[in-house]
């Protein structure tokens, strides 16, 4: 247990700061407001060791906390004021909750004494946040602050992680709190905390099912990386020579250079070649994967005849979309360690080796055919510049431990399909749960604060750039060496491509004016490049990546509606 610094008296705002400190919080991302004056004064006056990062938008503060949490394994913390500030925080909270990422949002509020009197910025924060969070409360008494903070951290980091919200009214921030109540369980500052093992026999039953199949396929979601189960997954895949596919959120479960790694499957970032692994399997083992619409191409596969085994930490997930022959309910690392132990035991009693399922040969064939098509497009040298060329260039130029952060639009399917992550772990981040634009610029800064020794590259379309361009000032103020890559096609490209595929190219209100994003970045103080010639792309990216500070490369790119993007419903 950790306790706060010595002090003889505390008010509610100071107690909140001490409770964050006691839980091991190191960074807080947020935006100032009238109702946050006591909290900011406490942050200023106390010796707590935390860094407060002033953002230009509360949405961005939440996305920064999200990116930070994804790369550190620690709770991300954001804050904002009442009224509009509280409403702006909402998009990041629903993304974090649905992505199983622990983000704590603190919104200060009007005084409890003025509730119901029509004061400026009054909103029912409790009702506002409830459907978007795993845990939520508005604190109405200062002596409740320590207990509510402890409850929030416990909820965020145990079981399936998720977001939490604490509302802190203005007058409560001034009321007294007993310093003796400032204590915390530091283990709840990281996730998953207190992981639960599956019930005895579940892993053995899963192994029986796998070994009875002819063509099993493992499909990993984000749960494998969240649990830190990458090493044991790699050992199992290698021993059984079993193919392993991932969702977009599951990228990094296995290094994508591993001979058993199929890559991303599904309707976004999957390809016809990787989809063969899904349709050809007679048993699919979902691991930390919700089997949602994207990974299964709207439940096109697995089909009715395909058997399913499901590993997950959330009891609400298995059986939601597919009947599971075996359910292994528990932390993914502990579950896979039990599966590995079952393999060890089985090999010790049988007289012949366990079957090997030909994953290496399958993956080699799939990858050869997939990347033959990719390389033809990446090397075509076409104008406007093809996204495939950008991916190929980054693959060559980036260090193996780089962190890529993508908005969910133009850049995401190309990176998920074709950028080969050379290491397991969280090296590719995107907000796939709800897909709000404007994520990557802010999340990249959070990721950099979490891992400042890694090169961070944020990729986005020009539609996304327009959502959070103001955070370029935040990045410059932080002097963060992030390279931003903007794919400019002067349209909300995902919707335009969907109008082509679904509405017979009846385009309506999806185009906007072309902007010189390099000039905008230069006005904020970033070295920047605008690239229209495919022959100049490598040199521009190399120069941007070499700068010890923030940079931006604006690439005039092929419109999505004219592209061969790896999105299945556009390719039919």
Q: What is the CATH number of the domain that holds 172?
A: 3.40.50.970
For residue 487 the two structure tokens come to 């794919």
Is residue 264 helix, strand or coil?
A: strand
pLDDT band at 354 (very low <50, low <70, confident <90, very high): confident
pLDDT at 159: 96
Token readout for 569 is 């419903």
The pLDDT-based confidence of 6 (bands split at 50, 70, 90) is very low
Tell me the residue length of the chain: 572
Residue 112 DSSP code: G
Instruction: Say if CB 215 and CB 40 are below 8 A apart.
Output: no
DSSP class of residue 199 equals P
Total H helices, total E strands in the chain: 20, 22
Among residues 525, 551, 526, the alpha carbon closest in space to that of 540 is found at 551
Query: Domain check: are 500 and 402 in the same one?
Result: yes
Tell me the mean pLDDT in the region 325-338. 98
SS3 at position 2? strand
pLDDT at residue 148 in the model: 98
Does one domain contain both 353 and 396?
Answer: no
User: pLDDT value at position 348?
Assistant: 72
Number of domains the chain contains = 3
In a domain, 371, yes or no: no
Mean pLDDT of 251-264: 98
Query: Do 209 and 185 share a domain, yes or no?
Result: no
pLDDT at 232: 98
- The mean pLDDT value for 176-191 works out to 97
For the segment 538-564, the average pLDDT, to the nearest whole number, is 96
Q: Is the pLDDT of residue 177 over 80?
A: yes
Beta-carbon count within 10 A of 396 CB: 10
Residues 160-169 have a mean pLDDT of: 98
What proportion of the chain, given as a percentage, has pLDDT over 70? 98
Q: How far is CA 238 from CA 57, 232, 274, 358, 422, in A?
A: 46, 10, 19, 10, 16
Is 54 within a domain?
Answer: yes
In the listed set 336, 362, 388, which residue is the last one of a domain according to the structure?
A: 362
**What pLDDT does residue 349 have?**
66
pLDDT, residue 171, reads 97
- Is 47 inside any structural domain? yes
Domain end point (choices 159, 189, 219): 189
Do the domain assignments include residue 351?
yes
pLDDT above 80 for 350: no
Is residue 325 within 8 Å of residue 308, measured between CB atoms?
A: yes
Query: What is the pLDDT at residue 8?
Result: 73
Q: Residue 245 maps to which CATH number?
A: 3.40.50.1220
DSSP, collapsed to helix, strand or coil, labels residue 84 as helix
Q: Which of 330, 319, 20 is nearest to 201 (CA)?
A: 330
Residue 108 has pLDDT above 60, yes or no: yes
Query: Does residue 170 surpass a pLDDT of 80?
Result: yes
How far is the CA of 184 from the CAs of 25, 75, 221, 384, in angstroms? 11, 14, 31, 55
Range of the domain at 325: 202-362
Share of the chain above pLDDT 90, in %: 94
Judge whether residue 487 has pLDDT over 50: yes
Of 134, 163, 189, the last residue of a domain is: 189
Q: Residue 194 domain-assigned?
A: no
Are residues 128 and 103 both part of a single domain?
yes
**Whether residue 287 is found in the same domain as residue 314:** yes
**Domain assignment present for 570:** no
Q: Tell whether 294 and 403 lie within a shared domain.
A: no
Residue 33 predicted with pLDDT over 60: yes
Cβ–Cβ under 8 Å, residues 145 and 15: yes
With 70 as the cut, is the pLDDT of residue 310 above it? yes
Q: What is the pLDDT of residue 206?
A: 98
Q: What is the pLDDT of residue 216?
A: 98
Whether the pLDDT of residue 51 is over 90: the answer is yes
What is the per-residue pLDDT for 5? 46
Residue 2 predicted with pLDDT over 70:
no
Same domain? For 75 and 209 the reply is: no
Shared-domain flag, residues 174 and 226: no
Taking 3-state DSSP, the helix, strand and coil percentages for the chain, each rounded to the nearest 5, stand at: 45, 20, 40
- Give yes or no: residues 208 and 175 share one domain: no
pLDDT at 396: 98
Within a domain: 567? no
What is the structure's pLDDT at 571? 72
Compute the mean pLDDT over every residue in the chain, rounded to the nearest whole number: 96
**541's tokens:** 């990216």
pTM of the full predicted structure? Answer: 0.96
Beta carbons of 502 and 357 less than 8 angstroms apart: no
Measure the CA–CA gap between 342 and 239, rounded to whole angstroms. 12
> How far is 434 from 408, CA to CA, in rounded Å?
9
356 shares its domain with 248: yes
Residue 184 shares a structural domain with residue 242: no
* Cα–Cα dist 169/149, whole Å: 15
Strands 403-406 and 428-430, by their bridges, are: parallel
Mean pLDDT of 309-314: 98
206 and 185 in a common domain? no
Does residue 453 form part of some domain?
yes
């Amino acid at each position: 247990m950790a306790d706060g610094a010595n002090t003889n008296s505390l008010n509610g705002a100071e107690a909140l700061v001490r409770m964050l400190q006691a839980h091991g919080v190191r960074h807080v991302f947020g935006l100032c407001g009238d109702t946050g004056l006591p909290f900011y004064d406490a942050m200023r006056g106390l010796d707590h060791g935390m860094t407060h990062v002033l953002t230009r938008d509360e949405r961005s503060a939440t996305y920064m906390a999200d990116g930070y949490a994804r790369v550190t394994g620690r709770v991300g913390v954001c804050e904002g004021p009442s009224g509009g500030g509280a409403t702006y925080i909402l998009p990041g909270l629903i993304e974090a909750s649905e992505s199983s990422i622990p983000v704590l949002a603190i919104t200060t509020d009007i005084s409890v004494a003025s509730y119901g009197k029509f004061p400026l910025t009054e909103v029912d924060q409790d009702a506002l946040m409830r459907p978007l969070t795993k845990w939520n409360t508005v604190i109405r008494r200062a002596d409740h602050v320590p207990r509510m903070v402890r409850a929030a951290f416990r909820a965020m980091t145990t079981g399936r992680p998720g977001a939490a919200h604490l509302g802190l009214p203005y007058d409560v921030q001034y009321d007294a709190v007993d310093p003796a109540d400032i204590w915390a369980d530091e283990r709840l500052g990281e996730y998953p905390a207190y992981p639960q093992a599956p019930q005895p026999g579940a892993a053995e039953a899963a192994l029986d099912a796998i070994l009875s199949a002819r063509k099993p396929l493992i499909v990993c979601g984000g749960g494998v990386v969240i649990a830190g189960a990458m090493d044991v997954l790699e050992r199992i895949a290698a021993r059984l020579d079993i193919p392993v596919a991932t969702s977009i959120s599951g990228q990094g479960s296995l290094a994508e250079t591993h001979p058993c790694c199929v890559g991303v499957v599904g309707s976004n970032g999957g390809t016809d070649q990787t989809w063969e692994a899904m349709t050809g399997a007679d048993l699919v083992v979902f691991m930390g994967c919700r089997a949602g619409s994207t990974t299964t191409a709207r439940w096109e596969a697995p089909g009715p005849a395909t058997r399913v085994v499901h590993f997950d930490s959330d009891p609400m997930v298995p059986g939601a979309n597919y009947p599971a022959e075996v359910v292994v309910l528990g932390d993914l690392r502990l579950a896979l360690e039990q599966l590995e132990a079952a393999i060890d035991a089985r090999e010790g009693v049988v007289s012949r080796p366990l079957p090997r399922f030909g994953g290496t040969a399958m993956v080699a064939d799939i990858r050869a055919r997939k990347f033959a098509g990719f390389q033809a497009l990446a090397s075509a040298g076409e104008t406007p510049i093809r996204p495939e060329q950008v991916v190929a260039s980054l693959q060559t130029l980036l260090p193996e431990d780089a962190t890529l952060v993508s908005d969910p639009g133009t850049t995401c399917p190309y990176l998920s399909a074709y950028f080969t992550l050379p290491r397991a772990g969280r090296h590719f981040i995107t907000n796939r749960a709800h897909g709000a634009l404007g994520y990557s610029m802010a999340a990249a800064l959070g990721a950099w604060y979490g891992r400042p020794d890694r090169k961070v590259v944020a990729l986005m379309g020009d539609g996304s750039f327009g959502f959070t361009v103001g955070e370029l000032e935040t990045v410059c103020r932080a002097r963060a060496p992030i390279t931003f890559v903007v794919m400019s096609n002067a349209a909300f490209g995902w919707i335009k491509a969907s109008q082509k595929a679904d509405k017979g190219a009846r385009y309506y209100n999806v185009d906007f004016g072309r902007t010189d994003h390099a000039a905008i970045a230069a006005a904020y103080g970033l070295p920047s490049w605008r690239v229209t010639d495919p022959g100049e792309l490598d040199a521009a990216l190399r120069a941007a990546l070499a700068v010890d500070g923030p940079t931006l490369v604006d690439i005039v790119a092929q419109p999505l509606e004219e592209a061969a993007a790896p999105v299945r419903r556009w390719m039919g």
